[in-house]
Structure 1
Amino acid sequence: MKCKWCVCDMDGTLLNSDGLISIENESALKKLQEMGIEVIIASGRTDLMMKSYIKQLELKGHIICCNGGLVKKIETDEVIYKKLIDKETAEKVIKYCFENAVNFLVYTIDMVYSNSENQRAKYYENLNSSLSQEFRIPIDYIEYAEIDKLLEKDIFKVLIIEKDDERKDSIARHFSDVTELAVVTSAKGLLDIMASGVSKGDAIKKLSEELKIDLKEVIAFGDNYNDLEMFEAVGFPVAMENAVEDIKAHSKFITRSNDESGVAYAIDNLFLKHKQS
């Protein structure tokens, strides 16, 4: 197949269970870049959480963040596309979280906000202690009384952290009735809330229109429900062995798991070997 872009989800796909990019995945993606193929990370994360990975892979093109709510040019930090949660709707979501003791993170252009005593935020704080200043994730904590101050920011996504499946499903049902919102599971215990219409697939379409790229010439890797629209948009979707069944059903190839460098395995066997022959 002709390939112009290789688009990779991060958690559960490009990253292993330790949150690292394996040497094999790094090598395979760098080989693609040497061949003139752009490697694009498409993640539910904000780019503030991806700086070290961008550096490791030496990416120079574009990045899709917040499940498609934000698309940026890496080298210039230029915003190519963005879609925000409107202020009134964001207020309802954040108030619901405070009033129902739901842990959350709010992604803005320059800061990640959290409720206090949120263990996921504490994890990022601990991670920061091992990172150099340029790669640290900016985190701040807010209280209920500070919601108005937070709403002065552009909000791309609210991440709900809830390990109890029944409670998470209940929260998802509550917000799925809000027409201004898109709600999707991105990993076990995580619920992503964005503006209506936001998806990785929609972001890829907008970027391809901007750069005149035929999506039939795009390969994409993913593992969870927030990758579904991306799989439907591209020419060659590849599911991880650890992917949910809906993603596997929409794939053209199922590679090894994220803990077995599945991205590299697929690139080597479906693309690089063919090129070398």
Structure 2
Amino acid sequence: MSINLVAIDIDNTLLTSAPERKLTPANITAIQHALDLGVKIVLCSARPLAGVKRYLDQAQISGDDQYVIVDNGALVQTATGQTIATHLLDSQTVQELVRFSQTHQLHYNVIAEDSTMCTTNARLGAYTVQLAAKYQAPLQVFANQEDFASLRFAKFGLTDDPELLDRFEPELKQRFGSTHYVVRSRPFLLEVMHKDANKGTALESLAEKLALQKDELLAIGDEQNDLPMFAAAGTGAAMGNAVPAVKEAADYVTADNDHSGVAQALHKLILDA
């Protein structure tokens, strides 16, 4: 069975390494050829849609019939922002997390369905501002708790000094870890998401909507959080720079992200197959 959908991680997979973090011409050309064949190219990221938009534009992926997996799988959306499937946090959990943050005087932000980064912190934390800039996401401070509580949130992030998060991470995991996905994404970022928010579950939801079988799916990635989408896809391609666990789970190991590994995988498994 031919491959009709490719799920591609962004950071250190589609993009070159820091500080450039760009799409190579070879990757763009290969994506265009795959799109011309009718293959769906689905960018997958822990970023919200706002943080993915520039790469969609560069790869010329657009329209209501093209899709993205964002917020680490909490949302499946069209390239135009229509929501297809969700694994969002419930309002009660968000309020409990806000109280936890306020009790311990920690800065936090919550990513809304429309990519807005929201908080009720009257004084914005430096890490919150830094993330909003990276994601190119609007940043909104709510004084009205009812307005804040009315929104739908993809993930909750404690954003503060690493030493503070080290101190409170065990308590947070004890309180929420059995019912939610709790992960230390960066030294300054401790995130809480729906227990089923991962790239694999999101990919399965999208494949079901498009009536695609597992054998028609290809996943390309480099990190541990890409393993669920490898499990959901019939074929997994690990980047040359991937961690060992990803390479072990892969059917094919391509070149690294600085040498257009995505393009090589697309040629090997689709374009020249």
TM class by smaller structure: 0.7 to 0.9
1:200-252 CA distance string (max 9 Å, x none): 11111111112110121111111222212111110111122332332222111
Residue 90 of structure 1 is aligned with which of 77, 90, 94? 94
| 2:84 paired with 1:80 | yes
Q: 1:220 to 1:168 in 2, by over 3 A?
A: farther
Which amino acid is the alignment partner of residue 201 of structure 1? G
Q: 1:258 to 1:105 in 2, by over 3 A?
A: farther
SS at match of 1:19: coil
What residue is the counterpart of 1:238 in the other structure?
A: 237
| Identity value in percent | 26
Supply the distance in 2 between the matched residues of 1:165 and 1:257 (Cα, whole angstroms). Answer: 33
Report matched runs for 1:102-113 at 5 Å.
102=106, 104-110=108-114, 111-113=116-118
Supply the distance in 1 between the matched residues of 2:164 and 2:245 (Cα, whole angstroms). Answer: 20
Supply the distance in 2 between the matched residues of 1:27 and 1:112 (Cα, whole angstroms). Answer: 33
- Give RMSD over aligned pairs: 2.9
Supply the distance in 1 between the matched residues of 2:128 and 2:12 (Cα, whole angstroms). Answer: 17
What residue is the counterpart of 1:121 in the other structure?
A: 129
What residue is the counterpart of 1:44 in the other structure?
A: 46
Which amino acid is the alignment partner of residue 137 of structure 2? I
Supply the distance in 2 between the matched residues of 1:148 and 1:12 (Cα, whole angstroms). Answer: 39
- Is the CA contact (8 Å cut-off) linking 2:127 and 2:160 kept in structure 1? no
Supply the distance in 2 between the matched residues of 1:148 and 1:4 (Cα, whole angstroms). Answer: 44
Give 1:14 deviation, angstroms.
Answer: 1.3
Which amino acid is the alignment partner of residue 241 of structure 1? G
Report matched runs for 1:198-209 at 5 Å.
198-209=197-208
- Is the CA contact (8 Å cut-off) linking 2:220 and 2:237 kept in structure 1? yes
* Structure 2, unaligned runs of 5 or more: none
Q: 1:213 to 1:95 in 2, by over 3 A?
A: same
Supply the distance in 1 between the matched residues of 2:167 and 2:224 (Cα, whole angstroms). Answer: 14
Which amino acid is the alignment partner of residue 88 of structure 1? Q
Give 1:19 deviation, angstroms.
Answer: 2.9
| 2:255 paired with 1:256 | yes
1:116-145 CA distance string (max 9 Å, x none): 1323523644x69xxxxxxx5312346xx7
1:70-128 CA distance string (max 9 Å, x none): 111224x3221112211121123234345445554421023112551323523644x69
What residue is the counterpart of 1:24 in the other structure?
A: 26
Q: 1:4 to 1:177 in 2, by over 3 A?
A: farther
Supply the distance in 1 between the matched residues of 2:29 and 2:76 (Cα, whole angstroms). Answer: 25
What residue is the counterpart of 1:155 in the other structure?
A: 153
Supply the distance in 2 between the matched residues of 1:146 and 1:218 (Cα, whole angstroms). Answer: 44
What residue is the counterpart of 1:132 in the other structure?
A: none
Q: 1:86 to 1:218 in 2, by over 3 A?
A: same
Report matched runs for 1:189-204 at 5 Å.
190-204=189-203
- Is the CA contact (8 Å cut-off) linking 1:104 and 1:118 kept in structure 2? no
What residue is the counterpart of 1:64 in the other structure?
A: 69
Which amino acid is the alignment partner of residue 90 of structure 1? V
Which amino acid is the alignment partner of residue 171 of structure 1? E
SS at match of 2:85: strand
Normalising by structure 1, we get a TM-score of 0.81
What residue is the counterpart of 2:139 in the other structure?
A: 139
Q: 1:6 to 1:165 in 2, by over 3 A?
A: farther
Residue 54 of structure 1 is aligned with which of 53, 56, 70? 56
